[in-house]
Amino acid sequence: MRHLILAGLMLATAFTPALAADDTLVLYTSQPNTDAQATADAFMAANPGIKVEWVRDGTPLIMAKLRTEIEAGAPQPDVLLISDMVTMEGLKQEGLLQAYPEANVAGFEPGLMDKDFSYFSTKLITTGIIYNTAAPMVPTSWLDLTKPEAKDQIAMPSPLTSGAAMIHAVTLTGNLDGGWDFYTALAANGALASGGNGDVLKAVAGGDKLYGMIVDYLPIREAAKGAPVGFVFPTEGVSAVTEPVAILKSAKHPDAAKLFIDFLLSEKGQQLASSMGYIPASASVALPAGYPDRASIHVLGYDAAKALADDAANKEKFTEIFGQ
C-alpha cells in the first residue's frame, strides 16, 4: 500500500487525463512504482504510437480515487491493473467494466480469467510460509503453524486491512478440512495478525518472530540478498492474487486499452512479469530464479463472487476468532 499523496509524482508523463489525446492510455494501477514504470515503458516500446499516463497506489486508495471520480461523473482511467479478482468482480457486478471477448486467453487456466471476459489475470502472487533460518522447525504444511514449536512465533497480515490476506483466508478456509478451525488454531497458538506483508518480512527476518504468512516474492528476493529467511509453498497448496487487468466501461481510449490487455497476456508481457520476479499467469513462461518448478506449486482455487458476497461475514468471523 502506498500513499496517494505520491500519485501526482508517479506519472509516466505529465498527467492531464481530460486533455489526453487519442494516442494516450490512462492507467490506474496498484503495482509498485518500479513495476508500473517498467510495464508502461515495455508497452510503449511495443506500441510506439501510444503514450501511457499512469497513477499508482495501493488497491484500496486507487479504488477510493476512482469512486470519487465516478461520483463526480468524471472517471479518468481507461484501464485498471490492480491486486485482486474480488475487487474486479465487484466492479463487474456494478456494470463498470467493459468486456473484451476477443482477448487471447489461450494457455491460461480458465479459472484465472473472468468467464465473461471482463477482467484478466496477469500473474500469480501466492501466499505461503516464511521462516527464519534459525527456527527449530522448517514447516512444510499450513498445519505446522499450529504446532507447539510455532507457539507465539507467527506473524501474519490482517484480513481486516489487507485484501490479499482476506483472499488467503477465504482460500484456506474453503480448502482445508475444518474451514475456519485452522484460524481458530492459529489464534490459540498465539499468531499475531496485524499490518501487511512488509511487516511480516521485517518481523521474521529480524528474529522477532520465527514464522509467518507472506506473499512469495518478498522472502524469495530477500533470501537472494542474504537475509536469514526461507520460503515454503505448503503441501496443501497456496492462495494467490492475480493482479487482474480490466477496461473501464467509461474508457476514453478503448482501442488502446485492448492493446494493453493484449500486451500483458502476450508472451512478451508474461516474460515481463517473470523478469519482475513474479510467477507468470501463463504456464508456458518460465518462473523467475529462486522459485521451484511450477508443477510443484499447487494453487488453491476460490470463488471471487462468493468471496465478495461473504466479505462482511468473513471479516466478522475473523474478528470473532482473533478478538480484533
- Indicate the domain borders of the chain: 4-122+242-287, 124-240+299-322
pLDDT for 213: 98
pLDDT for 22: 58
pLDDT for 110: 84
What would the grid cell of residue 56 be? 499508482
Q: Specify the CATH class of 4-122+242-287 in words.
A: alpha beta
pLDDT for 324: 67
Residues 6+ apart with CB under 8 A from 180: 173, 317, 321
On the question of a common fold for 4-122+242-287 and 124-240+299-322, the answer reads yes
For the chain, which ranges sit under pLDDT 70? 1-22, 324
SS3 132: strand
Angle (CA) 276-45-273 rounded to 5° is: 20
pLDDT for 315: 95
pLDDT for 21: 47
Which of these, 190, 185, 191, lies nearest to 165 by C-alpha position?
191
Task: Give CA–CA dist 296/292, Å, rounded.
Answer: 7
Give the CATH architecture of domain 124-240+299-322. 3-Layer(aba) Sandwich (3.40)
